[in-house]
Amino acid sequence: MPETQQVAVKRPQLHFTAKKNWINDPNGLFFDGKQYHLYFQHNPNGVGHGYMSWGHAVSTDLVNWEELPIAILHGDVADIFSGSIVVDHDNTSGFGDGTIPPVIAIYTAAAKDETNQSQAIAYSLDGGATFTKYAQNPVIDRGSKDFRDPKVSRYESAEGSYWVLVAVEAIERRVVIYRSENLIDWTELSSFGPKAAVTGIWECPDLFQLPVSGTDQLKWVLIVSLNPGGIAGGSGTQYFVGEFDGTTFTPDQDVAAVEGLDFEALSAAKWLDFGRDFYAGVSFHGLPVDQQTLIAWMSNWDYARDLPNDGWRGSMSTARTMNLVKNAEGNFEIRQQILGLPVTDVVSQSVTGAETRVELGSPALLELHLAGNVSESAKLSFYRTDESLISEIAVDSALLTHERTAGIVDHELYASTQRMPLPAGLTEITVQVLLDHGSIEILAADGLRSLTDQLTGESAPAYGVLRLAEGTNASVAVLPLDEIEAGTNA
């Protein structure tokens, strides 16, 4: 579909969109003690990918966002690709003026002629509103055309603390790890990969700690986005759990490189999301480890450039907090929970029969609970006001699928069915379904499984229908969310 074709696309209420033009990867997420800052890849000149700069928005609740002026604008010779932000409380960089800790952005300077990608920094002395590019940029230059997406954090040890940067050599499917004392001078420490899913290029790495639920243990997690080659096709995000000693990341499970697009083979990797539209997610700087929170871009490079637009194109996922759970095999898995959703009165419907209709008509959170003989299936279907099907969830004890129809999207890769294997041995299943204008986010098994799909151009479904196989015991609760303001400043 041509980029110039505009159609009426209803804005989401629960997800960030820019006032106008193109957005993709979240960048530089940080919490300043009062506000959450979301920077993002943004084209100030149109609804297509280009002239990449850093847009900026702030929120106090991770749902309602105020869009601010562009923070870092592309230049004549380089675009501003993805990166991260840290607050330099100790002024290790020397950019501070002694009154306010400098906010340091480190990003990929992508040469417009596509000959080189290097890492550059910019500093802010007004809390992240405006930035000055460092005069001696770049701070890391490997002479590579595909070296990008730096994510910086502070590493603390008994011997002292220093800055750690992870970035990718994208074509090599390799995460490179650097160290710095001052955010300017960097030394390479080690690299990781290629491992697990490698059919696509690697992008947007992040290295952080997560607590293990029910214990005082912390583990390290390395997430890596890749495109194509995701578990649902096109863009996807995998993760590794292990240990980081300040120099080297060592995974608990050494998964060999998986070539190809076979679903069963790709299932050997750990996936942050099993949907088509959850990519380039990164965590917030400035939050305690037990509040580690991530936001992703809610799209897929298979069709992102061709989606219908209404003068704006692209949205972010909800914010999700994360921790780790040890599964029956003794391996660690990420559990996600959606943050910031004020729930109104609960309307609950319990059914054991063949079919129940659930009235919706506005963004809502649904909870589907299956108990007893969960080997029998349940289907939850969503419809427009004209009674045509938007999408359908099917779930049993082993597998959840989501099938979406094309709707207004004329792209051969859009209409699709996504599969999400469920943890083994479940005797009951709870599935959360967050419906907004233009998207569906499904969390199952207490957040151990996630599936995110766009429903581009769709208003929140008018109603849903729950259909149960004979003998299935299930209940569905509808938690209306229609008091939320639109998640944008438009």
Q: Tell me the per-residue pLDDT of 221-237, one tens digit each, with 9 for 90 and over.
A: 999 999 999 999 999 99
For residues 113 and 258, membership in a common domain is answered with yes
pLDDT at residue number 149: 98
pLDDT at residue number 182: 98
Residue 373 domain flag: yes
Residue pair 317/281 in contact (Cβ under 8 Å)? The answer is yes
For residues 323 and 354, membership in a common domain is answered with no
Identify the H or E element spanning 101. none
For residues 324 and 458, membership in a common domain is answered with no
**Catalytic pick among 25, 79, 88, 206:** 25
* pLDDT over threshold 50, residue 6: yes
* Six token digits for residue 297: 């871009």
pLDDT at residue number 490: 46
410: annotated active-site residue: no
Mean pLDDT of 268-286: 98
* pLDDT over threshold 50, residue 4: no
Amino acid at 277: D
Separation CA 187–CA 140 (nearest Å): 9
Q: What is the mean pLDDT of the chain?
A: 93
* pLDDT over threshold 60, residue 20: yes
* pLDDT over threshold 60, residue 363: yes
pLDDT at residue number 1: 37
Mean pLDDT of 324-328: 93
Residue pair 43/21 in contact (Cβ under 8 Å)? The answer is yes
Of 316, 338, 360, which closes a domain? 338
For residues 174 and 57, membership in a common domain is answered with yes
Other CB atoms within 10 Å distance of the CB of residue 330? 7
Residue pair 345/339 in contact (Cβ under 8 Å)? The answer is no
Q: How confident is the model at residue 484 (pLDDT cuts 50, 70, 90)?
A: low
What are the tens digits of pLDDT across the range 76-125?
999 999 999 999 999 999 999 888 999 999 999 999 999 999 999 999 99
Per cent of the chain over pLDDT 90 is 83
For residues 245 and 102, membership in a common domain is answered with yes
**Number of structural domains in the chain:** 2
pLDDT at residue number 89: 97
* pLDDT over threshold 50, residue 489: no
Task: Provide the residue range defining the domain that includes 156.
Answer: 21-338
CATH number of domain containing 115: 2.115.10.20
pLDDT at residue number 362: 87
For residues 246 and 393, membership in a common domain is answered with no
For residues 320 and 356, membership in a common domain is answered with no
Residue 3 domain flag: no
DSSP β-ladder status, 53-59 and 66-72: antiparallel
Q: Nearest CA to 436 among 4, 3, 9, 70? A: 9
Q: Output the CA angle 50-51-54, nearest 5 degrees.
A: 110
The mean-pLDDT minimum among 30-44, 74-88, 190-204, 333-347 falls in 333-347
Q: How confident is the model at residue 353 (pLDDT cuts 50, 70, 90)?
A: low
CATH number of domain containing 413: 2.60.120.560
What are the tens digits of pLDDT across the range 120-170?
999 999 999 999 999 999 999 999 999 999 999 999 988 899 999 999 999
Mean pLDDT of 334-348: 79
* pLDDT over threshold 90, residue 216: yes
Is the alpha carbon torsion for 97, 103, 109, 112 positive or negative? Answer: negative
Q: Which 8-state DSSP code applies to residue 304? A: G
What are the tens digits of pLDDT across the range 405-428?
999 999 999 999 999 999 988 888
Separation CA 295–CA 27 (nearest Å): 9
Q: Nearest CA to 269 among 321, 202, 171? A: 202
pLDDT at residue number 262: 94
Residue pair 207/216 in contact (Cβ under 8 Å)? The answer is no
pLDDT at residue number 351: 58
Q: Nearest CA to 13 among 315, 305, 380? A: 315
Residue 1 domain flag: no
* pLDDT over threshold 70, residue 387: yes
* pLDDT over threshold 60, residue 483: no
* pLDDT over threshold 70, residue 487: no
Residue 255 domain flag: yes
For residues 423 and 300, membership in a common domain is answered with no
For residues 224 and 334, membership in a common domain is answered with yes
For residues 334 and 372, membership in a common domain is answered with no
